[in-house]
Amino acid sequence: MSTDKPKLLNSGVLKEKSLKQLRDKWGISIVVSFISNMILSIPIIILSMLLGFFLAISLVFISSSNNDYSFTVFLIIYLIFILIILVTIILFGPIIYTGLFNFFNKISKGETADISDFFYVFRNFKKIIALGLMVFLRTILWSLLFVIPGIIASYRYSQVYLILLDEPDLSVSEIINKSSKMMDGAKVKYFLLLLSFIGWGILSSFSVIGVYFLLPYLYTTYINFYENLKENTF
């Protein structure tokens, strides 16, 4: 009996499979995509509005005072606002990603999925944040060497949130190591998968609603890639 592992499927096959899985489930998928976008966007929008208000007041103050000290204070506060926005994305982003993966994982398996599946992962937010921070720091450190090592590192750690959903008892370091092992020899396939969505990304950018059609397609395809990857790794 043959013990050969199944081959990694190409992007076209994975995407076709995803569209079939999403059939008759676009409505709830778009709603969940919209909710996830709002949860991440609203804090950033509020912070950006506060930043804009601060910039307007500061520019008036600087132009009237005309001294270097005022400009230094303005620059420091401006950088603090930018840092807060980045920290918000870094901390909340992984929770949103994991929630979407949990929801679309059920879709891909043909199970009944609802909005509560998106919010279910929030109870494990501490571990998700710790995992997200560790991945972010490792990717940044590799990026300091050059852009390409940073991109490769992001591919290496790309499966961490799905592994967390599959095996929640694993430690953060174990999840990262497992993702690295799974992506060994699969990075080119992953790159081609990402590349295949560029056209869809451009098209969706012309319409706000287009993004909410793209996200279900994208996440379900990522999950199918992960499942195919598991078959070839273990």
Name which residue leads in pLDDT, 17 or 47.
17
Q: CA–CA separation, 28 vs 179, rounded Å?
A: 29
Within a domain: 226:
yes
Q: Which two tokens stand for residue 216?
A: 């279900």
pLDDT for residue 190: 93
Q: CA–CA separation, 116 vs 119, rounded Å?
A: 5
161 neighbors 94 (Cβ within 8 angstroms): yes
Within a domain: 28:
yes
pLDDT for residue 13: 92
pLDDT for residue 63: 65
Residue 157's φ and ψ, nearest 5 degrees, are -100, 15
Q: Is the pLDDT of residue 6 over 60?
A: no
Within a domain: 17:
no
**16-27 pLDDT, tens per residue?**
999 999 999 999
Within a domain: 11:
no
pLDDT for residue 107: 94
- Highest average pLDDT, of 5-9, 97-101, 144-148, comes from 97-101
CA-based radius of gyration for the chain: 21
Q: Which range marks the domain in which residue 173 is found?
A: 24-233
Within a domain: 8:
no
Domain count, the chain: 1
Within a domain: 51:
yes
- Is the CA virtual torsion 66, 68, 70, 72 positive or negative? positive
**73-110 pLDDT, tens per residue?**
667 777 777 787 778 778 888 999 999 999 999 999 98
Within a domain: 209:
yes
89 neighbors 44 (Cβ within 8 angstroms): yes
Residues 6+ apart with CB under 8 A from 91: 129, 132, 133
Within a domain: 58:
yes
**31-40 pLDDT, tens per residue?**
999 999 888 7
pLDDT band at 62 (very low <50, low <70, confident <90, very high): low
- Write down the residue that tokens 């961490």 correspond to: 160
DSSP H helices in the chain: 11-22, 26-65, 68-108, 115-120, 125-145, 147-156, 160-166, 172-183, 187-195, 198-204, 208-233
CA torsion 182→186→191→193, rounded to 10°?
-90
For residues 167-178, give the mean pLDDT: 94
Q: Which two tokens stand for residue 75?
A: 């620059």
Q: Is the pLDDT of residue 12 over 70?
A: yes
- Nearest to residue 153, comparing CAs of 125, 190, 126, 127? 190
